[in-house]
């Protein structure tokens, strides 16, 4: 992929690929982001710092920022701890059912945030099932748990987002040479001690990376904060931004909202910086590929079943409970009447067919999810490869590309959508093509928003491939393109598949971008769910949600069994 | 080889889904008027309703193409603002619950003034300004309650300030819901019936908030809230489906939430007549009956939804556009100052 | 300290029996090499001693302490309680710790005080000639140096037993020989019992007190290098350890002076030392068992010559005997194509 090197080659393919990628990123990400940034500096039609000044003078903005930190910091820590614990149990111990757990504990990632939050209100709201049970048991006159609080948000975000570190850390954990842990055991360390002293520090880069990801996830979350924050008017950054967007009477309200959103990117960049700083000393991030996970630590019976029970509880609380709540709702005939055999129906599902264009919405969402997953995987593969392998040679713009790929992820979807409108409402300059109101604008917005998911995942995977593997191919006479195709891509296949899954889940149910950018013929499931939500059609919403979760889980399981077969590459060193 | 499997999985899912909903094609022959054009409508009304209306309209005006963008009121105005920041908006027709925004557009000369022939028979107060917008059906903020949780139905706004409703009465957050903000302004305008005092009382009674009417409705139905201030048509729809909810038009007056249909002046020359035809058609008996069937109070003289009063029978706190224009900014400020802060 | 007893040890992995009823004893201070082709079960045996693999049946003891006993009541002792040191094939030097912290780790686990840790780590590093490298990280060191760190880490807690899992396989020949030498030196200084797994039979022969030869999970022979070489248990051991000429043979029945006559292919009859056994079997002749003679012997043409400095190896065309491998001192130069008259001086009867 070196740009300068191909003087004698007929067509400089690497250079072309790189510059096409750069051009795409410039158009799809850099341009709208620049417009957005420029816009955040506009007040009363002229450039100024007024919007930013306002950020620091408005007490409700300050309050929302503090609220956000009070929610985001603990839930990032909690969900990371929970996710890493589960990954460890599943990969490194002989807990019964570990294979199954490794799949089903990832399900919360595939539940759309709004749905998850609403399901939790069914469980822990004042009239929620769990609260009622507790009231019955302890003879209480009031619901003991109030989910509409900061604590409630921390709880829901954590049990919901722990799947991100779980998914990200698990593969790395599998790849750490088993002899590292065994060396600690033979030195006298118990399995737990070996985990704390050896495995955990070795996983640090991966854990920090997933922590950053989950931090951004939670920081830019709108679903949970909107649903749980509303009753007591607890505003977080995202809901405050939405409030500003909702204030057309306020001059420059979109500009102020953009400025506030830019503040989030400061957090994102800060997080990225801290992450880099911590990783600076650990050049050992390259985990040797030679040895796969040998036999996991065999725990004695009591510990084994204790761990099993813990994983069951985690699964019940984080996955079964909200999914069951959604299912029960979807099967309810009349909302407001307790669920029973008489009050059960399949009509909510069959009734979906009557929604106009529902099939087109499903088709569009599937296509959008699949295409954006494909594009994101391809683009981030190229950018990550350049960043990891060619960084030292100072190829132009790699660092900038890296930042550009990371930033949109920290922004709330609505803001990205506004950026897209600002950038693309007019026909493109010079080219004259208008993509506004087409399928393409949704695709571009999806790609821009979720690029970071791919970038994080693939960068990690590339740095784990020993350069000697590529060098061997070069020695064997393969050119750069050939090496990339024959060596790098096959070795990365499991990670590339994983990345596509990571992208498909949030895109297939995307709401924030779609609800501003959709147009006739380009409906998405997200817009249908959003409409159902606004119209108070909770039963329809639940039925859609159940279908959606089912769909994504099936895709996930199918893809898993495929990548699992591919994953044997990583385990050739097994004895 | 394995990717093929994924693709075929996708394709088969697509196939199943596309079989699930086959649209019905309309037999388009009708009056055969010489009106043609293409329009874009931005609205916050339920998409199914608007699509049905457009389809029915097209039976009479087959040569008018109307494209639709639907989202929440706040998102629609945000989209328009962003588009306007780049020069102009795509919207030719607008229909949502933010009359302040529309009035503002009108002051900038961006709306076409139009008095529909079919509006001749309706209450003139439903045509705003000098015809910049026309109500085509009426929605009111009323009190809805859960019939299983409430022993005696509330009758007026003051009833929900009682101890019984402590922590279990909710409103849509005026900071997020355009409709709820309009209601706030109207409430304040009539201090004898509601006024600031009422807000003080419900806040003292631990009033709860939601960002949208949809969430309010879900929670009144489930019994999480005993009562809520909410738009009437949604409750009528839920009641018709059997949910344990009912509504009262408060004795001192319900609040009309203005949701006029307006024509933007960016409508192309050759489509102006089509836009006017659509507005006029929405006031026709055909359209009014369709709206009534969706539990809306019709603005025209057709029969309303079952069990609902006629518009003329509802006691309302009359909406006053001049008052709204004059006072809304101040009222928002006062509200935010006194009750609007974020908590937590 | 350090007598290892393995008793009737079996390990079954699904359909495969990796180790079959292996029994052996390693005396205190002894160095035993386990050799065999890859897949013979030697690594599994080592991992069972270490505690990373649980035997299906059998018993493992050190100094009378039971580490594992499938018949006993006690659960298997986990690796961390076994007081065994181990050097891994990949070294497993922890990349997030410097040399000092790597080596100090077993002592920290055992809660030694700072002073004692510093002293012991210093001594261990001196032993492996890494004094001064305390602050280095793994990625700043060569393979050989990493190996020394791993060795120091295994020795620092003065274990009862040291396990070496193919420790030299990743090093070049010179470094490997050097490390071998150092290992012997360390053993001399510490008197530690060592079990060493390798596929390199030359390495095994040169350092071990006893060699255990395994194939397909079965322990074929367990004896001193001299005996394994000189009196191999069967043709497999004979050809796995050192170079061997093996001929199918039949007893003729004639016996005299503790010798017996056997018939080789082509009707050649020779006398070999008497051994009880089957009628049909094999005759083993080591390359040094052929002696060139000036007259009387059968002559074979030289096919190939390999010069080793202190000796020369010849490959001769043996006709129906196949290729013959002969070693001779460098002062008897034969040329390619030249016929060399031979006599068999040392031969051994093998039943199988």
Task: Tell me which residue of B269, B233, B258, B246 sits closest to B325, measured CA to CA.
Answer: B258
More confident residue, A208 or B292: B292
Can you say how many angstroms the Cα of residue A532 is from the centroid of all Cα atoms in its chain? 24
CB B317 within 8 A of CB B192: no
What is the pLDDT confidence band of residue A1, given thresholds at 50, 70 and 90? very low
More confident residue, A202 or B291: B291
C165 vs A142: CA distance, rounded Å: 65
From A85-94, A509-518, B151-160, C329-338, the region with the lowest mean pLDDT: C329-338
Structure tokens at A527: 């817009």
Which residues in A lie closer than 8 A to residue B22 (C-beta atoms)?
359
Given an 8 Å threshold on Cβ–Cβ distance, is A248 in contact with B344? no
Structure tokens at C28: 């205190």
Structure tokens at C292: 């060139």
Given an 8 Å threshold on Cβ–Cβ distance, is A249 in contact with B245? no
Q: What percent of chain C has pLDDT over 70?
A: 99
CB A427 within 8 A of CB A525: no
Question: In terms of CA atoms, which chain C residue is nearest residue A286?
Answer: C95
Which residues in C lie closer than 8 A to residue A201 (C-beta atoms)?
94, 96
A82 vs A77: CA distance, rounded Å: 9
- Contacts (Cβ under 8 Å, ≥6 apart) of B62: B28, B29, B30, B32
Residue position matching structure tokens 């912290």: C101
Query: Residue length, chain C?
Result: 352
Task: Tell me which residue of A470, A469, A460 sits closest to A499, measured CA to CA.
Answer: A460
Q: What is the DSSP letter of B208?
A: E
Q: What percent of chain B has pLDDT over 70?
A: 89
Mean of per-residue pLDDT scores for chain B: 86
From A318-327, A388-397, B112-121, the region with the lowest mean pLDDT: A388-397
A436 vs A456: CA distance, rounded Å: 29
Question: Looking at the partner chain, which of A227, A356, A551 has a beta carbon nearest the beta carbon of B13?
Answer: A551
Question: In terms of CA atoms, which chain A residue is nearest residue B221?
Answer: A336
A453 vs A140: CA distance, rounded Å: 45
C135 inside 8 A of chain A by CB: no
Which residues in C lie closer than 8 A to residue A463 (C-beta atoms)?
none
3-state SS assignment for residue C55: coil
pLDDT in tens, A237-277: 888 888 888 888 888 888 999 998 888 888 878 877 787 77
CATH number of B36-138+259-308: 3.40.190.10
Q: Radius of gyration of chain A from Cα atoms? A: 24
Question: Looking at the partner chain, which of A231, A355, A533 has a beta carbon nearest the beta carbon of B214?
Answer: A533
pTM of the model: 0.79
Beta bridge partners of C2: none
User: How do the domains of chain B map onto residue ranges?
Assistant: 36-138+259-308, 140-256+317-339
Say what the pLDDT of residue A22 is.
Answer: 84
Say what the pLDDT of residue A194 is.
Answer: 85
CB B252 within 8 A of CB B315: yes
Alpha helices in chain C (DSSP H): 42-50, 99-109, 114-127, 143-155, 173-190, 201-207, 225-230, 235-240
Question: Looking at the partner chain, which of C43, C109, C163 has a beta carbon nearest the beta carbon of A193?
Answer: C109
CB A83 within 8 A of CB A109: no
Which residues in C lie closer than 8 A to residue A186 (C-beta atoms)?
50-51, 79-80, 82, 84-86, 154, 163
B343 vs A59: CA distance, rounded Å: 12
**φ and ψ at residue A378, rounded to 5 degrees:** -65, -50
Structure tokens at A439: 């399928």
Q: How far is C196 from chain A (nearest CA, A)?
A: 16
Question: In terms of CA atoms, which chain B residue is nearest residue A519?
Answer: B69
C77 inside 8 A of chain A by CB: no
Say what the pLDDT of residue B4 is.
Answer: 52
Which residues in C lie closer than 8 A to residue A190 (C-beta atoms)?
78, 80
Using DSSP bridges, classify how beta strands C161-165 and C193-198 pair: parallel, antiparallel or unpaired. Answer: parallel
Question: Looking at the partner chain, which of B2, B13, B75 has a beta carbon nearest the beta carbon of A516?
Answer: B75
pLDDT in tens, C262-277: 888 888 888 888 888 8
A280 C-beta neighbours (distance < 10 Å), count: 8
pLDDT in tens, A125-144: 888 888 888 888 888 888 88
Question: In terms of CA atoms, which chain A residue is nearest residue B235?
Answer: A536
Mean of per-residue pLDDT scores for chain A: 82
Given an 8 Å threshold on Cβ–Cβ distance, is C80 in contact with A295? no
Say what the pLDDT of residue C295 is.
Answer: 74
Say what the pLDDT of residue A573 is.
Answer: 31
Q: pLDDT at residue A290 above 60?
A: no
Which option is the CATH number for B140-256+317-339: 3.40.190.10, 1.20.1560.10, 3.90.45.10, 3.30.930.10? 3.40.190.10
Q: pLDDT at residue B170 above 90?
A: yes
Which residues in B lie closer than 8 A to residue A227 (C-beta atoms)?
215
C347 vs C286: CA distance, rounded Å: 7
A270 vs A278: CA distance, rounded Å: 12
From A400-409, B179-188, B204-213, the region with the lowest mean pLDDT: A400-409
Say what the pLDDT of residue C80 is.
Answer: 83
Task: Tell me which residue of B170, B122, B128, B172 sits closest to B145, measured CA to CA.
Answer: B170
Question: Looking at the partner chain, which of B6, B168, B243 has a beta carbon nearest the beta carbon of A336?
Answer: B243
Chains B and C touch (3+ CB pairs under 8 A): no
Same fold across B36-138+259-308 and B140-256+317-339: yes
What is the pLDDT confidence band of residue A574, given thresholds at 50, 70 and 90? very low
SS3 content of chain A, % helix, strand, coil (to 5): 75, 0, 25
Structure tokens at B318: 């009359």
Question: In terms of CA atoms, which chain A residue is nearest residue C94?
Answer: A180
CB C194 within 8 A of CB C186: no
Q: What is the DSSP letter of C131?
A: T
What per-residue string of b and e applies to A151-170 under the rule 16 or more CB within 10 Å gives b? ebbbbbbbbbbbbbbbbbbb
Structure tokens at B140: 């009111």
Question: Looking at the partner chain, which of B67, B81, B336 has a beta carbon nearest the beta carbon of A519?
Answer: B67
Question: In terms of CA atoms, which chain B residue is nearest residue A557?
Answer: B6
Task: Tell me which residue of B250, B286, B266 sits closest to B60, measured CA to CA.
Answer: B286
Given an 8 Å threshold on Cβ–Cβ distance, is A197 in contact with C85? no
Q: pLDDT at residue A78 above 90?
A: yes
CB B234 within 8 A of CB B219: no
Structural domains of chain C, ranges and CATH numbers in brackets: 4-235 (3.40.50.300), 243-350 (2.40.50.140)
Q: How far is CA A254 from CA A244, B180, B341, in A?
A: 7, 21, 20
Say what the pLDDT of residue B32 is.
Answer: 45
């Amino acid at each position: 992929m070196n740009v300068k090197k191909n003087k004698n080659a007929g067509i400089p393919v690497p250079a072309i690929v790189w510059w096409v990628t750069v051009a795409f990123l410039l158009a799809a990400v850099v341009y709208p982001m620049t417009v957005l940034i420029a816009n955040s500096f506009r007040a009363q039609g002229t450039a100024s710092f007024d919007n930013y000044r306002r950020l620091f003078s408005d007490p409700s903005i300050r309050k929302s920022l503090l609220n956000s930190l009070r929610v985001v910091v603990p839930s990032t820590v909690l969900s990371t701890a929970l996710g890493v614990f589960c990954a460890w149990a599943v990969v490194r111990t002989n807990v019964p059912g570990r294979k199954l757990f490794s799949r089903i504990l990832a399900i919360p990632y595939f539940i759309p945030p709004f749905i998850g939050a609403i399901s939790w209100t069914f469980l822990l709201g004042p009239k929620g099932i769990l609260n009622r049970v507790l009231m019955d048991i302890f003879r209480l006159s009031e619901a003991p748990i109030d989910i509409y609080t900061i604590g409630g948000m921390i709880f829901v975000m954590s049990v919901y987002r722990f799947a991100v570190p779980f998914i990200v850390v698990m593969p790395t954990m599998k790849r750490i040479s088993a002899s590292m842990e065994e060396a600690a055991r033979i030195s006298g360390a118990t399995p737990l001690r070996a985990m704390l002293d050896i495995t955990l520090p070795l996983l640090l880069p991966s854990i920090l990376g997933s922590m950053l990801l989950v931090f951004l996830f939670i920081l830019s979350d709108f679903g949970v904060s909107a649903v749980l924050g509303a009753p007591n008017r607890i505003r977080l950054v995202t809901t405050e931004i939405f409030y500003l967007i909702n204030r057309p009477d306020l001059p420059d309200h979109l500009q102020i909202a953009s400025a506030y959103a830019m503040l989030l990117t400061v957090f994102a960049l800060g997080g990225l910086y801290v992450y880099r700083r911590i990783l600076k000393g650990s050049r050992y991030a390259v985990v040797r590929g030679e040895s796969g996970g040998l036999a996991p630590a065999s725990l004695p019976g009591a510990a084994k079943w204790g761990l099993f029970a813990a994983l069951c509880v985690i699964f019940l609380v984080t996955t079964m409970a909200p999914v069951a709540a959604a299912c029960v709702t979807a099967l309810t005939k009349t909302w407001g009447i307790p669920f029973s055999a008489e009050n059960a129906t399949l009509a909510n599902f069959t009734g979906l067919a009557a929604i106009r264009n529902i099939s087109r919405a499903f088709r569009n969402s599937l296509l959008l999810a699949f295409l954006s997953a494909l594009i994101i995987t391809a683009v981030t593969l190229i950018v990550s490869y350049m960043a990891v392998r060619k960084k030292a040679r100072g190829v132009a713009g790699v660092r900038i590309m890296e930042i550009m790929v990371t930033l949109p992820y920290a922004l709330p979807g609505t803001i990205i959508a506004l950026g897209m409108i600002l950038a693309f409402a007019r026909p493109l300059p010079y080219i004259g093509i208008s993509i506004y109101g087409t399928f393409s604008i949704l695709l571009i917005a999806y790609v821009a928003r979720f690029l970071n998911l791919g970038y994080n995942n693939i960068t990690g995977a590339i740095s784990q491939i020993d350069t000697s593997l590529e060098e061997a191919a070069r020695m064997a006479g393969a050119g750069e393109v050939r090496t990339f195709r024959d060596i790098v891509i096959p070795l990365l296949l499991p990670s590339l598949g994983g990345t596509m899954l990571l992208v498909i889940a949030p895109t297939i149910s995307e709401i924030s971008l779609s609800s501003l950018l959709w147009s006739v013929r380009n409906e998405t499931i997200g817009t249908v769910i959003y409409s159902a939500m606004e119209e108070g059609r909770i039963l329809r919403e639940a039925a859609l949600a159940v279908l959606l979760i089912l769909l994504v889980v099936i895709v996930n399981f199918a893809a898993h069994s495929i990548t699992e077969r591919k994953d044997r590459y990583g385990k050739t060193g097994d004895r | 080889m394995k990717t093929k499997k994924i693709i075929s999985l996708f394709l088969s899912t697509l196939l199943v889904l596309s079989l699930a909903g086959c649209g019905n094609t309309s037999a388009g022959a009708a009056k055969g008027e010489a009106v043609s054009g293409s329009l874009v409508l931005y609205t916050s009304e339920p998409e199914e309703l608007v699509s049905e209306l457009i389809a029915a309209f097209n039976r009479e005006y087959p040569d008018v193409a109307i494209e639709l963008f639907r989202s929440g009121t706040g998102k629609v105005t945000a989209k328009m603002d962003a588009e306007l920041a780049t020069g102009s908006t795509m919207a030719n027709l607008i229909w949502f619950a933010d009359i302040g925004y529309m009035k503002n557009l009108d002051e900038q000369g961006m709306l076409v003034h139009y008095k529909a022939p079919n509006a001749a028979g309706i209450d003139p107060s439903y045509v705003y300004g000098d015809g910049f917008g026309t109500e085509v059906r009426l929605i009111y903020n009323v009190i809805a309650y859960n019939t299983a949780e409430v022993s005696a139905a509330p009758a007026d706004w003051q009833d929900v300030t009682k101890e019984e409703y402590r922590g279990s009465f909710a409103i849509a957050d005026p900071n997020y819901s355009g409709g709820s903000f309009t209601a706030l302004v109207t409430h304040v305008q009539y201090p004898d019936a509601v006024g600031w005092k009422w807000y003080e009382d419900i806040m003292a009674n631990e009033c709860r908030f939601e960002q949208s009417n949809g969430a309010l409705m879900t929670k009144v139905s489930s019994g999480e809230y005993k009562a809520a201030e909410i738009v009437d048509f949604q409750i009528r729809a839920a009641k018709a489906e059997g949910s344990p909810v009912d509504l009262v038009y408060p004795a001192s007056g319900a609040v009309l939430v203005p949701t006029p249909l307006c024509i933007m002046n960016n409508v192309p020359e050759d489509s102006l007549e089509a836009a006017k035809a659509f507005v006029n058609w929405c006031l026709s008996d055909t359209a009014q009956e369709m709206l009534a069937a969706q539990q809306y109070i019709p603005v025209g003289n057709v029969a309303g939804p079952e069990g609902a009063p006629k518009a003329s029978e509802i006691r309302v706190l009359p909406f006053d556009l001049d008052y709204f224009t004059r006072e809304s900014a101040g009222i928002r400020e006062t509200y935010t100052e006194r009750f609007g802060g974020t908590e937590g | 300290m350090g007598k290892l007893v393995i008793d009737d040890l079996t390990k079954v992995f699904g359909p495969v029996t990796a180790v079959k009823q292996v029994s052996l004893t390693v005396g205190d201070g002894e160095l035993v090499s386990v050799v065999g082709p890859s897949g013979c079960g030697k690594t599994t045996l080592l991992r069972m001693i270490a505690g990373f693999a649980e035997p299906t049946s059998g018993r493992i003891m050190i100094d009378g302490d039971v580490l594992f006993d499938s018949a006993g009541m006690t659960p298997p002792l986990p690796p961390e309680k076994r007081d065994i040191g181990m050097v891994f094939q990949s070294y497993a030097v922890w990349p997030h710790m410097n040399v000092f912290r790597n080596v100090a780790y077993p002592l920290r686990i055992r809660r030694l005080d700072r002073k004692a840790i510093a002293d012991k780590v210093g001594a261990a590093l001196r032993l492996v000639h890494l004094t001064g490298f305390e602050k280095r990280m793994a990625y700043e060191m060569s393979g050989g140096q990493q190996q020394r760190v791993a060795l120091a880490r295994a020795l620092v807690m003065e274990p009862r037993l040291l396990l070496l899992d193919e420790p030299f396989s990743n090093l070049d020949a010179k470094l490997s020989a050097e490390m071998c030498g150092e290992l012997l030196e360390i053993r001399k200084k510490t008197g530690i019992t060592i079990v060493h797994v390798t596929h390199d039979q030359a390495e095994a022969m040169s350092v071990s007190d006893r060699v255990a030869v395994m194939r397909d999970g079965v322990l074929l022979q367990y004896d001193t290098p001299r005996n394994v070489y000189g009196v191999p248990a069967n043709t497999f051991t004979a050809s796995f350890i050192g170079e061997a000429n093996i001929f199918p043979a039949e007893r003729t029945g004639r016996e005299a002076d503790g010798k017996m006559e056997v018939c080789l292919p082509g009707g050649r009859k020779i006398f070999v030392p008497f051994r009880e056994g089957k009628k049909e079997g094999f005759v083993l002749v080591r390359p040094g068992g052929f002696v060139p003679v000036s007259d009387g012997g059968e002559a074979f043409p030289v096919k190939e010559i390999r010069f080793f400095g202190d000796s020369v190896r010849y490959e001769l065309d043996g006709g129906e005997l196949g290729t013959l491998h002969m070693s001779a001192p460098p002062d008897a130069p034969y040329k390619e194509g030249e016929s060399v008259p031979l006599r068999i001086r040392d031969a051994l009867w093998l039943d199988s």
